[in-house]
Structure 1
Amino acid sequence: MDGQEPGRLTRIESDVLSVTVSDLGAEMQSLTKEGEEYLWQGDPAWWSGRSPILFPIVGKAPGDRVTLDGKGGEMRQHGFARRMVFDRVRAEPGRVMHSLTDTVETHAAYPRPFALSVTHAVSGPTLNVSALVANPGRAPLPFGLGFHPAFLWPLPGAQGKDHSITLANRGEPALARLRDGLMTDTRLPSPFTAGKLRLDPAQFEADAMIFPEGAGTALRYGAEGGPRLEFEFEGLPNLALWQKPGAPYICIEPWHGMAAQDGAGTEIAERPGSLILAPGKTARFRWSVTLA
């Protein structure tokens, strides 16, 4: 839409939930249930983000530079989409859709045409967030895409209670860590036991906990004897959990794609988990959360 201002907000509602989404980054700013806030509110003393969309890379690039077939330039962590103003193309009481397409500025580092649309929709106690990436060009489109929502820890009304992540598949996926922001080949023992991880800020002293495979397509985040959030993922096989140690939030991040491999080059196509989308094709990604 012509003339829109960065940061303009759109509110969508169900009979249970209220969600606001900014045109800047198509980033969710608030998620309330019956007036109670569940989304981290971006205190810059800890971390100013709330729920950024990660595109066309997830994580860092070597020297903050990427290339496609040898051509490219500077790209900061998690890509440029979260720092760009999207077009709000459709707004209804329970749904809002935003879109972003390539520009002269994006071609400086990412010389490919693309179309990214992001939809937030609410129904009853459930929020659905979906992204569609299209390749309108004539060359393959390599990219990564991820979601980075941050939720309150402790959850409302659960101060002093233990909080945990429970995988629906009861898996014990291997843990990966970053070295200077880049992926390593090392796989550490899983911190999950029969699918359950009791959260502790000390777990994040070495940065994010990343699970490249095996975390499944659903999990629960909740407090013992308190509120819980039920998540489902589609097209997002990689999972990260992150907190600045001691900060009052936990990021539950489903991804398709990860940071560049330590010691590897700058080609996006060679990054772990990158997709390569053929000309004329589209790829869909979705996550949902139900506030129980």
Structure 2
Amino acid sequence: MTADTSVLSNGELRLTVAPLGAEMQSLRDAAGQEYLWHGDGAFWTGRAPVLFPIVGRAAGDRIAVGDHAAPMGQHGFARRSHFDLVGQTDTMCHHVLNASDTTREVYPFDFALHLVHWLEGRTVQCEARVENTGTEDMPFGFGFHPAFCWPLPGAEGQDHVVTLEAGGAPQRRPLRDDGLLRREMVPGPFTDGRLTIEEALFADRALVFPNGSDALRYGPETGAGLSFTFRNLPDLALWKPIGAPFLCVEPWHGTASVEGDGPQIADRPNSIILAPGASAEFGYAVTLEA
């Protein structure tokens, strides 16, 4: 933790957020138990990155906007960008990333990306607002990528289950070895909205569910877990590297490119086209059950 890391606390939760990527670094309850993955590079250095202006990978790691083409790595550049802290209280912090000469070299738009984290009882609220501050239509995708402990504190030795509030068995789109999505949809592993988390599920990396769910629960079937709600984030991914002690619960608006598609951001699945002066908001809430 660095000196400019924001520390939020309300007696129930303690949350830290770094200016690099406006990324959550730690989430502890009043007893000091940690719920967020700690970023060990042996598995994955991320903790809860924000995905912008693309979600997932582009073919050849190159994107295009009209006649402008440029390299862009998986999940875009926001997660490795420094955000400015523009507001903070004991229980809230507000960071913003504004377009710069560096971002315009790869993504030729003027924008502001606001990230606000705040605490309400045993709930963490995360809200994002993307503003088009330029004069041209702006295509983009957006997502959250938080990683939570597996197993959760106090639930060691118990099966962990993801339960979709809406139930059902959403189809998924498989990932290729190069990180692009296959065109065909296949049956997903949920049964009546329920999925027990097992290592074998992730042998081919992330599970991607277009139009996945707007609310779910993760944790042991008996005892406390984590409850999630999502806003304006219709796509869902679950990811757990083999052997890693965490599960990523990832709500997105947009996905990786589909095999055979070109580099245009506007043509990516579920891309948003934001008019000049317009904004779009996204959010999720995670509650630590008592």
The TM tier, using the shorter chain, reads: over 0.9
- For 2:18, the aligned partner's letter is S
CA displacement at 1:70 relative to structure 2: 2.0
The answer as to 2:126 corresponding to 1:99 is no
Q: How far apart, in 1, do the equivalents of 2:124 and 2:173 lie?
A: 29
What pairs up with 1:263-278 in 2 under 5 angstroms? 263-278=260-275
Does the CA contact (< 8 Å) of 1:67 and 1:73 recur in 2?
yes
What is residue 88 of structure 1 aligned with on the other side?
85
1:109 to 106, 109, 115: 106
SS for the counterpart of 2:117 is strand
The answer as to 2:23 corresponding to 1:11 is no
What is residue 127 of structure 2 aligned with on the other side?
130
1:260 to 257, 261, 285: 257
Q: How far apart, in 2, do the equivalents of 1:146 and 1:101 lie?
A: 18
What is residue 62 of structure 1 aligned with on the other side?
59
CA displacement at 1:287 relative to structure 2: 0.2
Q: How far apart, in 2, do the equivalents of 1:157 and 1:216 lie?
A: 27
What is residue 193 of structure 1 aligned with on the other side?
191
Q: How far apart, in 1, do the equivalents of 2:195 and 2:143 lie?
A: 22
What is residue 31 of structure 1 aligned with on the other side?
27
Where in structure 2 are there 5+ consecutive unaligned residues?
Answer: none
- For 2:190, the aligned partner's letter is F
What is residue 178 of structure 1 aligned with on the other side?
175
| Number of corresponding residues | 287
Q: How far apart, in 2, do the equivalents of 1:171 and 1:8 lie?
A: 44
CA displacement at 1:6 relative to structure 2: 7.9
1:239 to 236, 242, 246: 236
CA deviation digits over 1:53-78, x for unaligned, max 9?
00000000111111111203111110
Does the CA contact (< 8 Å) of 1:201 and 1:243 recur in 2?
yes
SS for the counterpart of 1:194 is coil
Q: How far apart, in 2, do the equivalents of 1:117 and 1:7 lie?
A: 21
TM-score of the superposed pair, with normalisation by structure 1: 0.96
Where in structure 1 are there 5+ consecutive unaligned residues?
Answer: none
CA displacement at 1:216 relative to structure 2: 2.3
Q: How far apart, in 2, do the equivalents of 1:248 and 1:182 lie?
A: 25
SS for the counterpart of 2:266 is helix
Report % sequence identity. Answer: 49
The answer as to 2:207 corresponding to 1:209 is yes
What is residue 230 of structure 1 aligned with on the other side?
227
The answer as to 2:18 corresponding to 1:45 is no
2:146 to 144, 149, 153: 149
